[in-house]
Amino acid sequence: MARFFNTAGPCRPDLHYMVDPLRRIERLHRLIDRQSYFVVHGPRQTGKTMSLLSLAAALVQEGRYAAALLSLEVGRAFPEDVGAAESAILQSFRDDAAFQLPPDQRPPPWPDGPPGHRLADALAAFQLTCGQPSLVNALARAMVDELVPDRSVTLLPAHVRAARDAIVLRQDTHLDSLAKRLRDDRVRTVIESIITGSSLGAVPDDDQRYAMDLGLVRQAEGGVLGIANPIYREIFQGRLSAAAVARRAIDRWREENASRLLSRDELDAVLSAERDSWGEP
């Protein structure tokens, strides 16, 4: 059959005249190798689907990745039935993976759960971390090394929540260094404003960008700033609450003892409280 010019749907090299779509997206290889996220945006009928299908096939052929193009669009047929939409999406995932991937690279069955909750339960770790790599790894390590070392046991959402509690309570190096960022006035002002629901209008734009560059906050829908993920929010709330209590105690003590000199022990106690509150004074 002679090739022809396609005007609907993805192109096929054996049927259609086409240029190599990978030439248009060479930079994506670099982003993928760096484990970065990216968004492909463009008008209809400009080759987005074809480019991504070709990219996924090329990645599989290289042998370093298992890649497939998946879509949530089938769920739109069930706007009033979340369970049915979820089932359609998961079936679409299975079909696309079976069509695009060799048998040894296809994902395992989706975890069981009540209709309408299977996606949410399976993505519980993402909801807690919003994809922050260190937190994802910390949750996974806590589950497989500490909570459920038996690899024959299926990991459940309850294990994810238990791992979250463990790493928040333990505050490993990553989370401890994160909390210490609150000693920076630029960061603390942004974080306090978000957590208390105060307006960020009086906070300099440079301070907001600085907090974003540190990965502590992110832009939600509508451009509104929010804490980067629920685990960070829990850490920040705990530190800010403890600091506020300590600060009130220090201020009250100063008011009561403003007219006299401090003993060495009292001075050491005040300095220790300051350090516990915000770090070195």
DSSP letter string, 130-177: TT-HHHHHHHHHIIIIII---TTSPP-HHHHHHHHHHHHHHT-HHHHH
Distance separating alpha carbons of residues 64 and 215, to the nearest angstrom: 28
Return the pLDDT at 74: 92
Q: How far is CA 31 from CA 40, 147, 197, in A?
A: 12, 34, 35
Query: Residues 161-185: what's their mean pLDDT?
Result: 82
**Residue 219 belongs to what H/E stretch?**
strand 217-219
* pLDDT of 132 above 60: yes
Return the pLDDT at 257: 64
Pick the closest to residue 167 from 77, 235, 225 (CA basis).
235
Query: Residues 26-47: what's their mean pLDDT?
Result: 80
Beta carbons of 239 and 178 less than 8 angstroms apart = no
Which residues, in sequence order, are bridge partners of residue 226? Answer: 218
Query: Mean pLDDT, the chain, as a whole number?
Result: 81
Return the pLDDT at 98: 92
Return the pLDDT at 281: 44
Encode pLDDT of 228-262 as tens digits.
Answer: 899 998 888 887 876 665 565 556 666 666 656 66
Residue 171 or 228, more confident: 228
Return the pLDDT at 137: 87
Query: Residues 111-136: what's their mean pLDDT?
Result: 78
